Each structure stands twice: as structure tokens, then as C-alpha cells.
Amino acid sequence: MLIFYFDNIEDFFPFLNRRSMNEAFYELIPLPDSSATTLALHFIGQINEQTVMYETLVDVRGEKKVEEIVTEIRATLDSIGEIQLVSGKIRDIVLSLS
């Protein structure tokens, strides 16, 4: 699986039209020794026959709360199309059989 990582969430959203399902996933990652949290946002897409994961990270610090950021992302996804934001993770497990 290929993973495309975007440094800015603004660059992430235009690629949503390449998704292979109507769900985008997010997970909250608390930063150790800090009140900040990182929000990982990702979805699965296809390039020809290759499965691709698109991902970006959003640092949540200061005045904005995690719930506010999630609400803003949901509003953006609603304006793009019928994309459901789901709390969860995407992981790829590859088995090799000999």
C-alpha cells in the first residue's frame, strides 16, 4: 500500500475525489507531556490497481478544542460530498506465505 502524506490539511481535501469509499477516518493522538493533541485524518483511495492511503496530521493546541476541529472537518466533508467522518484507524497488514 502506498501512503501519501500531506503537510497541510488544505492540500489533503482536494484528493477526496479519489476515495474508494464514503468514509474518512480520524484518530486522536495525545502528545506526551503536553496538553496538545494530534488529529490524524486519512482515507483509502485507488490509483489504477494500487490501494493508496491519504493522510494528514493536524496539531490541536491552545484555544481550539478537538471537538471544534472535528466539527470543522465534518462541515468541510459535508460540503464536498456525502463523506462520513469516523473515529478509527486504517492499518495495513501484509502476510507473506512461503
Q: How far apart are CA 4 and CA 56, in angstroms?
A: 8
Q: How far apart are CA 53 and CA 68, in angstroms?
A: 25
Q: What pLDDT score does 93 carry?
A: 62
pTM exceeds cut of 0.85: no
* Averaged pLDDT for residues 31-50: 87
Read off φ and ψ for residue 9, nearest 5 degrees. -65, -30
Q: How far apart are CA 62 and CA 79, in angstroms?
A: 27
* Averaged pLDDT for residues 68-72: 90
Q: What pLDDT score does 60 carry?
A: 85
Query: What are the sequence ranges of the domains in the chain?
Result: 2-87
Mapping DSSP to helix (H, G, I), strand (E, B) and coil, where does residue 21 land? coil
Q: How far apart are CA 21 and CA 43, in angstroms?
A: 8
Tell me the chain's radius of gyration from C-alpha atoms: 15
Confidence band, pLDDT 50/70/90 cuts, at residue 94: low
Kindly state the DSSP code that residue 19 receives in the 8-state scheme: B
CATH code of domain 2-87: 3.30.720
Q: What pLDDT score does 80 carry?
A: 85
Q: How many CB atoms lie within 10 A of CB 74?
A: 15
